Amino acid sequence: MRGIIKILLLSAVAAGIALWVAELPGRVVAEVAGYTVETSTPVALVALTIVLVVGVLVLRGIGWLLRLPGMGGRWRAERRRIGGEVAVTRTLVAIAAGAGNDARREAHKARRLLGDSAQTLLLAAEAARLAARDDEAEVVFRALANRPDAALLGYRGLFRLAVGREDWAEAASLATQAERAHPGADWLRPERSRLAVRAGNWLGALELTPRGPASAALAVAAARAETDPRKAAALRKKAWKLDPALTPAALDYAQGLRDAGKERTAQSVIRHAWTVAPHPDLATFALAPVTGPLDRAQAAQRLAGANPEHPESRLLLARTALEAGLVGEARHQADAALGAGLHQRRLFLLQAEIAEAEGHDPAAGRAALRQAAEADPNSAWRCESCHAAFPAWYAACPACSAAGSLRWKAG
């Protein structure tokens, strides 16, 4: 309804203007190139209007012709942009699907259509890496590393390639360059720490590792590698304070105290370690200065008193009692260890020795040996990351290189 009203109003206005122009009085005379044109005012106005409209149309036509090359360029650029975006999407899909060759083909197309932007270079590098074309990926990652706005992307890609080929020196250098390009990147610190561990740079790894189980193990390794006695002593003490339950930390710290003539303090460290995590090596250290069998048995009782119900305490008391000829006490402690839930091979072998020392029941000794053959494995240093077992302790697992992952436990 409103549309109809508008049309009627416009028609009325146009009719009014036309009527007004038609009733204008007067005449118009014009001389052009010797010719004289004379007409009425309404006709002259209509003619002038027509000339102006034609002039505007001609000017617009000329402008359109002048803009035509630019319009063609913009049209072609738009088509390239659309085609490039399609190629980018197809590259992402191919990477997600694990189709390396398809990803490379679409990535090259995206670079051709969109140019070498940070996005297209990254896609091309990842596609080449997926297709196992590491040489091609390295070239593209280096191009990224040379761009101030995308240097971190390039260095991280180069770092991953170096790690993949186990070039640890190059990986460490790239990690340092990445740190300079983007200080404080979250992924860099743990990666640099792992590289330091692989390179045996224990102090560097310790500085890069947050406080926790790994830092205590790294401090032990750093102390053992340190040539400055004062720095080594400080690292040993730091390792023990970081994790008093870590046997190597307690042993190294106590050994340093013993070497400095502080035997009482060293024994105190060992007793504290026995309280939180008994270990046979702690007993070996504590009893080392004692020579007589009975004296060793008494020293074992003092150490075991820090954690009397633990199976390791029972085993220690049984062993030292047997060595001192206290066979009945040895039998009592071994049985107590068995009652505490220890079913390891070493316990049954000890029971076989006790039965032999008793001498009145050979069958008991044979039964203990049979049980030893079927018993649980003895405790060992086991990696909490890859579960590999080792007879000795390492700051980093020899199998998977995880720092601070070895713990003394049963199999």
Give residue 92's identity as a one-letter amino acid code: L
Going by C-alpha positions, the residue among 215, 222, 145, 139 that lies closest to residue 178 is 145
Task: Output the pLDDT for position 72.
Answer: 57
In a domain, 132, yes or no: yes
Domain count, the chain: 4
In CATH, what number is assigned to the domain containing residue 299?
1.25.40.10
Strand partners, 28: 39
Going by C-alpha positions, the residue among 318, 324, 360 that lies closest to residue 338 is 318
Going by C-alpha positions, the residue among 129, 128, 157, 127 that lies closest to residue 141 is 157
Mean per-residue pLDDT, 357-371: 84
In a domain, 12, yes or no: no
Alpha helix positions (H), 23-150: 41-97, 100-114, 118-130, 134-145
Using the predicted structure, report yes or no on whether residue 285 has a pLDDT greater than 90. yes
The H or E element containing residue 31 is strand 27-32
Task: Output the pLDDT for position 24.
Answer: 57
pLDDT band at 205 (very low <50, low <70, confident <90, very high): confident
Going by C-alpha positions, the residue among 112, 126, 178, 128 that lies closest to residue 150 is 178
- Give yes or no: residues 146 and 240 share one domain: no
- Give yes or no: residues 90 and 159 share one domain: yes
380-383: strand order across its sheet: 389-390, 380-383, 406-409
Tokens representing 387 are: 């579960």
Task: Output the pLDDT for position 341.
Answer: 85
In a domain, 4, yes or no: no
User: What digits encode the pLDDT tens for the residues 17-31?
Assistant: 556 555 556 565 656
Q: Which residues contact 352 (CB under 8 A, 6 or more apart)?
A: 365, 368, 369, 372
**Domain around 103:** 78-180
Going by C-alpha positions, the residue among 149, 131, 132, 153 that lies closest to residue 140 is 153
- Give yes or no: residues 392 and 320 share one domain: no
- Give yes or no: residues 108 and 173 share one domain: yes
Measure the CA–CA gap between 127 and 140, rounded to whole angstroms.
10
Dihedral-angle region of residue 388 (phi above 0 means left; psi in -120 to 50 means alpha; beta otherwise): beta
Mean per-residue pLDDT, 72-98: 79
Last residue of a domain, one of 180, 205, 236: 180
Q: Which residue has the tokens 């890496």?
A: 129
Higher-pLDDT residue of 211 and 290 is 290
Task: Output the pLDDT for position 233.
Answer: 94
- Give yes or no: residues 158 and 110 share one domain: yes
Neighbour count for residue 180 (Cβ, 10 Å): 10
In a domain, 327, yes or no: yes
- Give yes or no: residues 371 and 391 share one domain: no
Q: Which residues contact 281 (CB under 8 A, 6 or more apart)?
A: 247, 251
In a domain, 30, yes or no: no
- Give yes or no: residues 170 and 220 share one domain: no
Using the predicted structure, report yes or no on whether residue 34 has a pLDDT greater than 80. no
- Give yes or no: residues 83 and 149 share one domain: yes
- Give yes or no: residues 84 and 169 share one domain: yes
- Give yes or no: residues 159 and 95 share one domain: yes
In a domain, 165, yes or no: yes
In CATH, what number is assigned to the domain containing residue 126?
1.25.40
Neighbour count for residue 326 (Cβ, 10 Å): 19
Measure the CA–CA gap between 369 and 293, rounded to whole angstroms.
25
- Give yes or no: residues 358 and 396 share one domain: no
pLDDT band at 404 (very low <50, low <70, confident <90, very high): confident
In a domain, 26, yes or no: no
